[in-house]
Amino acid sequence: MEDLALYSAGATIGVTRTRKFLQYAGRKGIQLGAFAAGRVAPATARGAVGIGRATLGAGAALARRNPGVAVGTGLYALNELGYLEEVKDTLGDLNRAGMEAVDREFIEPVRVRGRKAKKRTNKFAKAVGAGIKGIKKSTSMGAKGVINAPKKAFAKVTKIASTINKAKKMKVKLPKRPKGKVDRLVYDITKRILG
């Protein structure tokens, strides 16, 4: 019964792993086919009274050449006769218990640990955002709330913010206040944030 349960557990995991399982069972000397044949033999003998000895010999030769097919056929017959119901119930219970254990031990801790921390924005990004908002509020690069040339505005804001940021990091004198209206606006906003 233990061998059959092992095989049934192996069969639920797919073709490749089942093949590997059969190879493992062969190396370990687990008699999967013997159990199936022993359980099927009485039922088969009742239905196969007229089968000759040659046919049985051919079946045995086929089973020796393809043990996987023999085991699969034996398990299919056992399933059809209802002998595997208890094993399937037990394996179903084990599978459910195993999945619950995996959830409890591995998946839930990952969910708890996997919460994303809120990303902190650095001062430079805040300064650039504030500079763009300042340009949007003014009428110098389009109507209020509209920027006619957003690429040009972004380039202007990042250039001014980076020069102020670099001066702060190097602890040198800040650059002179620009003369253009938009440049002065951006300079004042970014200096306030980076300052």
| Cα Rg of the chain, angstroms | 38
Provide, rounded to the nearest whole percent, the portion of the chain with pLDDT above 90: 33
Task: Provide the 10 A C-beta neighbour count for residue 36.
Answer: 24
Whole-number pLDDT of residue 97: 78
DSSP 118-179: PPPPPHHHHHHHHHHHHHHHSSTTSSTT--S-HHHHHHHHHHHHHHHHHHHHHT-PPPPPPS
Rounded Cα distance, 135 and 108, in Å: 47
pLDDT digits 0-9 by tens, 124-175: 999 999 999 999 999 988 899 999 999 999 999 999 999 999 999 999 999 9
126 exposed, middle or buried (CB, 10 Å; 0-12, 13-18, 19+)? Answer: middle
Provide, rounded to the nearest whole percent, the portion of the chain with pLDDT above 70: 61
Provide the mean pLDDT of the chain: 75
Runs of H (alpha helix) within 82-122: 85-102, 108-113
Q: Using DSSP, state whether 37 is helix, strand or coil.
A: helix
Q: How far is CA 151 from the centre of its chain?
A: 39
> Which backbone phi and psi does 122 adopt, to 5 degrees?
-80, 170
Whole-number pLDDT of residue 71: 77
Confidence class of residue 1 from pLDDT cuts 50, 70 and 90? Answer: very low
The yes-or-no verdict on residue 42 having pLDDT over 80 is no
